């Protein structure tokens, strides 16, 4: 405990890291402040009563990812999901459109251009979603029959469109600023903040049910133990690696001898991290804000079929997670480039020929270890939804949110640790760092 506090104090001994942490904190605080600024023209009490009815449905899950902003219909009601959806669309188009593929290979200039297209796509998706929400709200009533929109019409629709689109653009800017000037992935941290901020209310609701006898204490204790075990399993899978041994041949340059040492390539079981879960959730949640708010029978049927706990939702969600695990791994990890670099510096895998054979071996190994990682993500994402439904526990902290919270926390701590270790400070993960160093020396 004392060592952990010492490591945390070291963060504020490095001016650059301290500045990044404080900047990230300030951006997240600003995001939470904006979450309490309501969109004009809405009866907030009636809207809150309506959302009490949709707990556990797909619309409730949309509210979870928006950090409760949709329930209040704040200026950030759309959340960051339009930006994630636009990013997915651009990445998929990059694979099939040669012009975008060339842009992606142009380095920093091409990346900036694709980022600009992603911003345009975010605004377009935000306009469509905000209009769908405005139309749907006009026809909705609270359980007591009170209209959610007291004065419907085009004035209200345009007001909602401008407010929600501007809110999403502001969140997108905040996320990019955190990634550039702060610590961690800005978009993931915004989702993280929206999920974690609801933890106190979940604890309060659980205590209320226990005190009234609706929830048995031993059932609550058993579920807490399951959540702890699942969290430990998530950490284990996130940190798990398959180490491929690499040997470097000796090279004589002038009077110096280079190479000759042994090392390894650490292939992560879950290379894509928590991104597949976020991407899959985004693709399912995007139509939810349209189908749920549009009062048409077949639109409502789609919304019901995609509600958490339904078999159609489970199959689609798990399939998307597995797909994006492979898709994102293929984007961030290129076996051909790795094999070429190894060959250039005299590195080889024992028993495997350098060049093409090495690339094929790495690709085959990565494909095999990605499958269990992807299946684990998919199972953890949907299993708690069924457990919560069966035991009627007021946990918003389901599998999806748990994976995001743990994954984002690990990635952020890992980035902070890298800053500490570069400046000869002890990191947060001391034992793992030392063991990795001992393995490399061995």
Q: How far apart are CA 41 and CA 196, in angstroms?
A: 29
CA 110 to chain centroid:
24
CATH number for the domain whose boundaries are 2-441: 1.10.3370.10
Contact yes or no for 140/7 (Cβ under 8 A): no
Q: How far apart are CA 88 and CA 98, in angstroms?
A: 17
Q: How far apart are CA 303 and CA 307, in angstroms?
A: 6
Residue 114, both tokens? 């694709």
pTM: predicted TM-score of the whole model, two decimal places: 0.72
Q: How far apart are CA 95 and CA 116, in angstroms?
A: 18
Contacts with 130 (C-beta within 8 Å, 6 or more apart), sequence order: 78, 160, 161, 163, 164, 165
Quick one: pLDDT at residue 439?
Answer: 34
Q: How far apart are CA 110 and CA 100, in angstroms?
A: 9
Residue 78 per-residue DSSP state: T
Of 163, 136, 191, 156, the closest CA to residue 303 belongs to 136
pLDDT tens for each residue of the chain, 442 residues long: 444 455 566 777 778 888 888 999 999 999 888 888 888 888 777 777 777 665 555 555 566 556 666 777 788 888 888 888 888 888 878 877 888 878 877 777 888 888 899 999 999 989 988 888 887 777 777 777 777 788 888 888 898 899 999 999 999 999 989 988 888 888 888 888 877 877 777 777 777 777 777 767 777 777 778 778 877 888 888 778 888 888 877 666 666 655 567 788 888 888 887 788 878 877 777 666 566 555 667 666 776 676 666 788 788 888 999 998 998 888 888 888 888 888 887 788 888 888 888 889 899 999 999 998 899 888 888 776 666 666 655 554 556 677 778 878 888 888 887 777 776 655 555 544 443 443 334 3
Q: How far apart are CA 203 and CA 183, in angstroms?
A: 29
Of 337, 338, 30, 323, the closest CA to residue 193 belongs to 30
Please, what is the angle between helix 186-196 and helix 58-65, to 10°?
A: 120
Quick one: pLDDT at residue 173?
Answer: 92
Gap between the terminal Cα atoms of the chain: 30
Question: What residues does each domain of the chain span?
Answer: 2-441
Q: How far apart are CA 274 and CA 280, in angstroms?
A: 10
**Greatest extent of the chain over all pairs of C-alpha atoms, in Å:** 88
């Amino acid at each position: 405990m004392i060592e952990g506090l010492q490591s945390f104090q070291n963060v504020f001994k490095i001016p650059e890291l301290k500045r990044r942490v404080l900047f990230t904190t300030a951006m997240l605080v600003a995001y939470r402040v904006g979450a309490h600024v309501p969109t004009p023209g809405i009866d907030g009490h009636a809207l809150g009563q309506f959302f009490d009815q949709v707990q556990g449905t797909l619309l409730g899950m949309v509210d979870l990812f928006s950090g409760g902003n949709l329930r209040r219909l704040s200026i950030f009601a759309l959340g960051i999901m339009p930006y994630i959806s636009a990013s997915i669309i651009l990445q998929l188009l990059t694979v099939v459109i040669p012009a975008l593929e060339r842009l992606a290979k142009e380095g920093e200039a091409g990346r900036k251009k694709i980022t600009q297209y992603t911003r345009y796509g975010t605004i377009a998706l935000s306009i469509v979603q905000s209009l769908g929400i405005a139309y749907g709200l006009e026809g909705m009533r609270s359980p007591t029959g009170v209209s959610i929109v007291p004065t419907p019409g085009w004035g209200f629709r345009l007001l909602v469109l401008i407010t929600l689109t501007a809110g999403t653009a502001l969140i997108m800017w905040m996320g990019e600023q955190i990634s550039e000037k702060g610590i961690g992935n800005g978009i993931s941290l915004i989702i993280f903040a929206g999920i974690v901020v609801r933890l106190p209310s979940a604890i309060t609701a659980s205590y209320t049910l226990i005190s009234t006898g609706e929830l048995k204490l031993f059932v609550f204790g058993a579920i807490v133990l399951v959540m702890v075990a699942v969290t430990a399993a998530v950490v284990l899978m996130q940190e798990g690696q398959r180490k491929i041994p690499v040997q470097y041949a000796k090279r004589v340059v002038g009077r110096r001898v280079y190479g000759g040492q042994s090392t390894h390539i650490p292939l992560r079981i879950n290379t894509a991290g928590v991104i597949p879960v976020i991407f899959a959730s985004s693709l399912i949640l995007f139509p939810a804000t349209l189908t749920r708010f549009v009062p048409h029978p077949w639109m409502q049927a789609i919304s019901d079929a995609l509600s958490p706990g339904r078999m159609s939702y489970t199959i689609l969600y798990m399939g998307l997670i597995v797909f994006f695990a492979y898709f994102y791994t293929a984007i961030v990890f290129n076996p051909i480039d790795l094999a070429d670099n190894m060959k250039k510096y005299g590195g080889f895998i024992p028993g495997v020929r350098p060049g093409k054979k090495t690339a094929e071996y790495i690709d085959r190994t990565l494909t095999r270890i990605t499958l269990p990682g992807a299946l684990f993500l998919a199972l953890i994402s949907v299993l708690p939804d069924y457990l919560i439904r069966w035991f009627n526990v007021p946990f918003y902290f389901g599998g999806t949110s748990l994976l995001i919270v743990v994954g984002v926390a690990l990635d952020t701590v890992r980035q902070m640790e890298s800053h500490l270790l570069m400046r000869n400070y002890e990191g947060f993960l001391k034992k793992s760092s030392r063991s990795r160093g001992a393995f490399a020396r061995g």
